[in-house]
Structure 1
C-alpha cells in the first residue's frame, strides 16, 4: 500500500462511504483536530517512558486507540455504518480512569495553571486540543450518526486534565494556583 494516492491533490478527501468533500469541510476539521490531539498524546508518552508512570501510559495508549474510533465517527456521514463506532463503554472507561487517578490526588480547591513537568504540560496541551475538537464536533452534530462522540470528547478532556495533574503529582511538581487580579 502506497502512502500517497494523489486523490487529495486538488484539496478534496473522501469520507467513509466515498463521499468527496473539501479538506476545509467542518467534518474534516473535526477529525483532523482529533488526529492532532492523538499525535500530542504520543509525544506526551515519549516524555514518560523513563518515569514510574506505567499506569497512566497504559490509559493514554487506550485513549489513542479510542481516538481512532472517534475519527471513524466523525468521518462517517449520518446514515452510513460507522466501521469502528465509539460507544457508551468507551465513555465509561474514561470515567473509570478518572476515578482511579483521582484517588491519588489531593482535592482541587481552586483553578490551576497548566504546566508542571514536560509530560504534564503536554497533557494539558492535548486537553485543549480535544476541547477544540469537541467544539468543532458540536458544529456538525446534526450530521453525526451518534451523539456519544461528543460525550466521549467531553470526558476525554476531563481525563486529560486529571492525567496531567496525576503525572505532575507523581513526578513531584506542585500545582500553580490561579490568582484572580483582585488577589494578586
Structure 2
C-alpha cells in the first residue's frame, strides 16, 4: 500500500466532492461513490455477522466453517472497493468467484431444496446474514448503475452477485447449525 493515512480529516470534501485514488475529484453522490459506500456498508455488516458467529461458536461448533468461509470475503470486498476507487485497478480474480460457487453448491447439498419462501428471522445471526445478503444486493445494484455509464469488470459484478447468493445459503446453514427451524413465509389471509 503506497499511501498511509496520517491525517484523518483533510477538509477537501467540505464542498461536496471527494477524491478517487487516481486524484480525480467527483461529487460525493456520484454513482461511483455510491457504489463504494454500499460495498463499505456491506463489509461492515459482514463484520457484525462474523462477530456474532464468533460469539456463538462455542455453543455451536458448526459455525466455525461458516466463519472460515465468510472471513475472506471482507478482504475481497476491500479489493472491490479498491477497484471502484481506482478505475484502472484490477484486484478481484475469477478463482474467488469460483470459491463462492463451490461453497454455495456444498452448502446447498447439505441443506436440500428450498420449498417455501423464508423470512430473515430465527436468531440474531440468521437475521444478520439476511441483512448482509440484502446489503449485497444493494451494492450490486449501485455497481450496475455505475456500470451503465462507466463499465466495470465482469468479475466485480459477478462477485457481488455470488456473495449475495452465498449469504442467503449461509443464513439457511446458520439456522441448520443452530438447530433452528426456518421461519416460513405465510401469505396474508384473503378477504372473504
TM-score (norm 2): 0.87
Unaligned runs of 5+ in 2: 1-5
Q: Distance between the aligned counterparts of 1:180 and 1:74, measured in 2?
A: 40
Offset at residue 145 of structure 1 (A): 4.1
Contact 1:74 1:144 in 2 (8 A): no
* Deviation for aligned residue 1:99: 1.8
Pairs within 5 Å for 1:21-170? 21-49=26-54, 50-51=56-57, 52=61, 53-77=63-87, 80=88, 82=89, 84-141=90-147, 142-170=149-177
Question: Mean Cα displacement is larger for which, 43-52 or 129-138?
Answer: 43-52
For residues 50-70 of structure 1, the C-alpha deviation after alignment (integer angstroms, 9 at most, x for no partner) is 322111111111111110111
Q: How many corresponding residue pairs? A: 180
- In structure 1, how many angstroms separate the alpha carbons of the residues matched to 2:189 and 2:92? 44
Distance (Å, rounded) in 1 between the aligned partners of 2:77 and 2:22: 20
State how far apart, in whole Å, the 2-side matches of 1:123 and 1:5 are.
35
5+ residue gaps, structure 1: none
CA RMSD of aligned residues (A): 1.8
2 CA distance for matches of 1:32 and 1:156? 17
1:20 to 4, 25, 35: 25
Distance in 2, matches of 1:124 and 1:116, equals 11
Q: TM-score, normalised by structure 1?
A: 0.90
Report SS of the residue matched to 1:33: helix
Q: CA deviation at 1:76?
A: 2.5
* Match among 166, 177, 181 for residue 184 of structure 2: 177
Q: Deviations over 1:67-111 (max 9, x none)?
A: 01111222223xx2x0x5222112111111212222321321121
Deviates more, 1:131-140 or 1:145-154: 145-154
For the pair shown, which has the larger CA radius of gyration, 1 or 2? 2
Contact 1:11 1:22 (8 Å CA) reproduced? yes
